[in-house]
Amino acid sequence: MMNESIASKMSIGGHPIHPMLIHFPVAALIGLIGTDLAYALTADYFWARAGLWLAGVGTLGGWLSGSVGLLDLLIVPQIRRLITAWCHAVLAVMLLSLASLNWLLRIGAAEQAILPWGLYLSLLSGLAIAATSFLGGQLVYDHAIGVDFEEAPEPPQPE
């Protein structure tokens, strides 16, 4: 880890906004996999309707969070210099494209869109979430973006 952190310009009271916002869309898009599988097993319209809502929340929330992350990428020179940040951004755009397509396919035809393409897009989005999240974690833990060392407690020393 670096000895110096990289401050986020898109923050509230020193707390970066992008990591605060990303949890809800990720949870919605991961939940979408579950609703698609539940619909495939039961053919109950409830799961199709729930999937439509999860796809919408995941997509709109992802675009909001991604916009905040993009502003940090463009505004902060130290972040712009990191290849990991650009890879994270490119994967996030690909993920948001998949999520947007998945949601748009479901509007007006929630049941018909699930099998096979909705489920396929949901699973592919899940893989994209895993890769994007891995790179986001590297930005925080390896490059210390948005980490405040002054507030962090000292780790215990092994005896």
What tens digit of pLDDT does each residue of 86-126 get? 999 999 999 999 999 999 999 999 999 999 999 999 999 99
Query: 6 phi and psi, to 5 degrees?
Result: -110, 115
For residues 113 and 105, what is the distance between their CA atoms, to the nearest angstrom? 6
Res 146: pLDDT? 87
Res 1: pLDDT? 46
Q: Is 120 left (phi over 0), alpha (psi -120 to 50) or beta?
A: alpha
The answer to whether residues 22 and 72 touch, using CB atoms and an 8 Å cutoff, is no
Average pLDDT over residues 30-45: 98
**Which residues, 6 or more positions from 87, have their beta carbon under 8 angstroms from its beta carbon?**
135
- Percent of the chain whose pLDDT exceeds 70: 94
For residue 15, give the H/E element and its range: strand 15-16
3 state DSSP class of 153: coil
Res 151: pLDDT? 59
* Three-class SS of 50-95: HHHHHHHHHHHHHHHHHHHHHHHHHHCHHHHCCHHHHHHHHHHHHH
Residue 81 above 70 pLDDT?
yes
Res 3: pLDDT? 61
